[in-house]
Amino acid sequence: MKVLRTGAILILLSVVLVVAGGAIGGRGGLQIGLAIAVVMNFVSYFFSDKIALSSSGAQPVSREQLPRLYDVMERLAAKANIPVPKLYVVPDAAPNAFATGRNPNHASVAVTQGLLEIMNDDELEGVIAHELSHVRNYDILTSSIAATIAGAITYMATMGKWAMIFGGFGRDREDDRGGGGLSALLMIFLAPFAALLLQLFLSRTREYAADETGARMVGQPYGLISALEKLGTYNRRIPTSAISPSTSSLCIVKPMFGGETLSSLFSTHPPLEDRIAALKQIVNTPLR
């Protein structure tokens, strides 16, 4: 059911892209939008992990440097039946972690220095199990595709605004009925908003799924519950100094940026209290 729901959201995003392109620019707009999406998908598929790691200043670490982290990662990767990801540490006092990579064979997991300092062994195990769940479920690739399509829609809408100002978007007379007018105006404003809501719903759904899968991987949810509680407390007090806004959607909890006032309605992460409540609900169900 979760796979079908994720697929449905990606299809809806693609439909929004096609409809927006046709409404805003007719045939020419549709072709431009699709070309942009193809290029962005290519970059996202092959380079999104390198961009995320580089933008956060993540540094690779060896077993000799962090045996504790490697022990947890190797044990849980064997449980999940996936290769051990490459491990990185982000020089940031704000505790957080994220996974990136297009598939389990090309995956990386990064944790901040702050996370390593405050987590006990059970909590660290819960965090790593959550990140490995993202890797095993191909969430990073799914999120990258969704972000790419949403970005193409937003770019298309921006081009549409300029087209309305200057009176053209590559349409010929044959396309005038399909683009332009009220439909184009509506798409310019509604398409990016619809894409954002679908993308946020997908991201939030994946976080709940990774929490549950991670708890079942470990065999109990208590370490992850305690880790989320700590992360919530510390990330309200310590703004991130390394993780960029473009990478924040990958993190186990949303980082705090200086002066941030954005409503949780538009957050890429569900409220922590809801995630913790969901984990407590599975205490009464059999864990394997």
List, by residue number, the catalytic residues: 131
Residue with tokens 């969901």: 278
DSSP H or E segment with residue 178: none
Handedness of CA 212, 217, 223, 228 (dihedral sign): negative
Strands 97-101 and 107-112 turn out to be: antiparallel
Distances (CA, A) of 165 to 84, 108, 180: 53, 45, 12
- Residue 99, phi then psi, degrees to nearest 5: -115, 150
Q: Do 58 and 110 form a contact (C-beta atoms < 8 A)?
A: yes
Q: How far apart are CA 210 and CA 278, in angstroms?
A: 12
Distances (CA, A) of 134 to 66, 97, 137, 252, 268: 22, 12, 5, 10, 15
With CA atoms as reference, report the closest residue to 85 among 111, 56, 64.
111
Who contacts 145 (Cβ-Cβ below 8 Å, separation ≥6)?
A: 10, 41, 44, 45
With CA atoms as reference, report the closest residue to 84 among 72, 96, 95.
72
Q: What share of the chain is helix, strand, coil (3-state, %, to 5)?
A: 70, 5, 25
